[in-house]
Structure 1
């Protein structure tokens, strides 16, 4: 574990800083903003927070810190019962690896018993809240390309296939012929499970393409065998899961995938080559093997809070409408395996997402210091993003303000200010009337607005704004761009620091650039709050039609 910079010195400096007082708010982020952001990150990413995993004391400490900051800023609490917190009930599950099984039976009756963690990772999918639960699926196997059903794009990997009562084998992701955001939507594992359940499948084995292996080697997939999965618990007491009829899934190591294609019309090498090719979309076919999947978990019921504060709007006719800024407060906790080996096992999450929360708080300071916007602006630090966007999902299902009054969401997640950025990427903005507001804010700040440079990563569905999208709310997710060395920094961070203990405050974070990032988000939020008309989806937009259509 590495020693952090002196937190108390920084906090003292920030506490003594003079608050900005610009009446218009256009230049309200000033003075000691960089020191304030540094102090916030230092507290949230300190070893004492133990990686801020949802439901832990370290996370609760972080939540109380954010609530205290919101109070000092002058926001009004808008959580449960007029407090700062919206408690999110969660089921936390740990896999019992001794119970994990993946057995392939060939046409001649011979069996191949694969080795848990060496060859595959198992994922039970149960709505049970009992202390222990086990799920098993066994049946004939069918290969289904990417496992994507997208009639909107004349694409159906299940055409001509019978998957009822069977195990479906498919590649992760979606064809690269799809546009960035729809590609992320259709590549989502939860969306795939929902459709698999609808057509009768009982289990799934996910294959990995070559670019996936390159981005995330197998060692990363199994880095923390004791990691917890979570889902939220609804008022009826059941766990919210996607496609529970698909009771168990497994991710298969690429070099072991050929075993599923013994006696099949095509080899795994052949379908992999098709999938890896530009525009590739391998067709499905029946496999000659049967597959047994089994997984078991131990469950625990916990609570973990979202933190919610609001700046009331000034316009009598618009103040009930709410723009929501979100950032996830949680991270992935500790890796006990590394600690047992005498290594640093605390995943501090300085970039992901202590810095996102810190810049959101700085945007809140600027907005409260300036002229109040017409609409209200909520600042929402959500829990359990790392477990499947759960805090945001719970909020949009059970909002602490009227759901129909939520007009837009702006999400801040992992602003990678390790270089002097000259452009930003606004995922989803071009799909609604948010785009001209974002473009104007970027221009005011002297920043270029760039398109998604990495659609294969599916970032549009991987952060909290997407839960708002699913409720029909125009939403966007802003990150720093790839120009001026950004692409190299992004790749280096993903390879060496993402979801690792080295994502800590010792990284060369450019806090002045964090101030610039906060400023752009402040301008966007203010622009949305002051625009004459409520944000709306563009005509014939895929997501607008899918989630907000009549």
Structure 2
């Protein structure tokens, strides 16, 4: 039975000979859960300090990956170097800071409250340093958009006050996609708008580590849990739920002076002279006619850093990096494939997909010769596989489908690419897709353990080593099969209406 399955697999890699079975299966079985989990555990460790792009911790992580690529004989992508460097500022958060409030009810009674990290708030990744106090004003989305006749600050004085704002943006009929609001709805744009209106502190109602907000020394901010925001409304005998409902359904500002006195402190130091790198290693193709065709597989290496407490970033995204590393190590032992295989470890995803966008502007490989880019993000917790975009490119997908059916035996789902999507890209794969690359993505389905997204509890203990092993083995077989195909049908299948 094993021989029948292997010969079926060889039909997709027709240049291989039956005698290659032993070496392919040898290195297939050499990939273990202990190996893959080991890479992820190391990258999530305190030595790398959360792998914040721009920081020394990220640089150490990049060197760790490159050292392994070199050890395995995988060639540098950038001539003699694995790295392409870019300048990037970053902020050190020395402690979790503090958030306190003097709540005032509708009758003038007061109560002092002190909030705790990480239950109630996260400090701002790029907050200014110091302490501010001021009255609290809820400003809805925090947007001023003249061409949409929309202003959350209209009729509200926030000078020297603390503003509390929501993520997202209004969605009236004339705003059919993100592009209508892109100049206003990003967190950095909302921060700048608060500063322009005179606010000295910001509470984002979104408790998430977010290193992509642009640094400004003149404002201190943090991210708060919904329950904290609800408490601020409840103390005034108001309902945040009702205010939000009107805000979303009417698409009209619902700003309110809540009048509680908020004190917010941050202990930060900004570093304007940091840098990060994209890392590329390659296994060159051997076929004179096909070696310039490239199959890329990648994952973002950076994390959320350290906000006074380590954010290990084990699932997001040490898992994706580790899956690729194990597959790369195994592939490096096989006869050279026809096409080039490139392993892409991307920087500054958490800062706004910067590494992917830099690559899109100046790609190492000709876009027309890039067969596909396969993106792995948070691939380490689940029972099944999801190959995003596979139905749009069946000529690519069939290699990975066959590898799963014949060797991995996991439930695998796929879909069509959403070409009508106009929103802000959320992954490196989406960013590259919007710049014309044939980008697909890999995720896990059927989560096994609790998910901690951008959270200090995203530790190696939340990973499932068995799925990581299978993802690596599946990549190993699928990439090698695709790289050795006599021909690849790249005609895109558009999603049926």
Normalised TM-score (structure 1): 0.59
Three-state SS of the structure 2 residue aligned to 1:298 is strand
Deviations 1:415-439 (A, max 9, x none): 23664x3xx2234556xx4366325
5+ long unaligned stretches in structure 2: 1-12, 172-176, 406-410, 417-422
C-alpha contact 2:304 2:350 (8 A) present in aligned 1? yes
Describe how 1:496-515 pairs up with structure 2 within 5 A: 499-500=456-457, 502-504=459-461, 509=466, 513-515=470-472
C-alpha contact 1:348 1:504 (8 A) present in aligned 2? no
> 1:439–1:417: structure 2 CA closer, same or farther, 3 Å change rule?
farther
Instruction: Quote the offset at 1:326 in angstroms.
Output: 0.9
Instruction: Quote the offset at 1:461 in angstroms.
Output: 4.9
Tell me which of 301, 317, 337 is aligned to 1:372. 337
Identify the residue that residue 441 of structure 1 maps to in structure 2.
400
Query: What is the rounded CA distance, in whole Å, between the counterparts of 2:437 and 2:102 in structure 1?
Result: 44
5+ long unaligned stretches in structure 1: 1-20, 127-131, 150-155, 177-181, 209-217, 222-226, 232-240, 338-344, 453-458, 542-550
> 1:147–1:402: structure 2 CA closer, same or farther, 3 Å change rule?
farther
Query: What is the rounded CA distance, in whole Å, between the counterparts of 1:426 and 1:188 in structure 2?
Result: 32
Higher-Rg structure is 2
Deviations 1:230-255 (A, max 9, x none): 56xxxxxxxxx669799665433323
C-alpha contact 2:37 2:468 (8 A) present in aligned 1? no
Tell me which of 259, 284, 292 is aligned to 2:252. 284
Instruction: Quote the offset at 1:31 in angstroms.
Output: 1.8
Identify the residue that residue 298 of structure 1 maps to in structure 2.
269
> 1:245–1:353: structure 2 CA closer, same or farther, 3 Å change rule?
closer
Instruction: Quote the offset at 1:500 in angstroms.
Output: 2.6
Identify the residue that residue 31 of structure 1 maps to in structure 2.
26
> 1:312–1:193: structure 2 CA closer, same or farther, 3 Å change rule?
same
> 1:406–1:145: structure 2 CA closer, same or farther, 3 Å change rule?
same
Q: CA RMSD in A?
A: 5.9
Describe how 1:333-412 pairs up with structure 2 within 5 A: 347=312, 349=314, 351-364=315-328, 365-366=330-331, 369=334, 372-374=337-339, 376-386=340-350, 388-397=352-361, 399-401=363-365, 408-412=372-376
Deviations 1:212-238 (A, max 9, x none): xxxxxx7xx6xxxxx8x756xxxxxxx
Paired residues in the alignment total 447
Query: What is the rounded CA distance, in whole Å, between the counterparts of 1:409 and 1:393 in structure 2?
Result: 14
Instruction: Quote the offset at 1:171 in angstroms.
Output: 4.0
C-alpha contact 2:44 2:459 (8 A) present in aligned 1? no
Identify the residue that residue 63 of structure 1 maps to in structure 2.
62
Three-state SS of the structure 2 residue aligned to 1:369 is coil
Instruction: Quote the offset at 1:442 in angstroms.
Output: 2.0
Describe how 1:59-458 pairs up with structure 2 within 5 A: 60=59, 62-79=61-78, 82-95=80-93, 117=116, 120-121=121-122, 123=124, 143-144=139-140, 160-161=150-151, 163=153, 171-172=166-167, 191=186, 193-194=188-189, 205-207=203-205, 250-258=222-230, 267-271=239-243, 281=249, 283-289=251-257, 297-300=268-271, 301-313=273-285, 319-320=291-292, 322-331=294-303, 347=312, 349=314, 351-364=315-328, 365-366=330-331, 369=334, 372-374=337-339, 376-386=340-350, 388-397=352-361, 399-401=363-365, 408-416=372-380, 419=383, 421=384, 424-428=385-389, 433-434=392-393, 437-438=396-397, 441-443=400-402, 445-446=404-405, 447-450=411-414
Identify the residue that residue 474 of structure 1 maps to in structure 2.
438
> 1:145–1:264: structure 2 CA closer, same or farther, 3 Å change rule?
farther
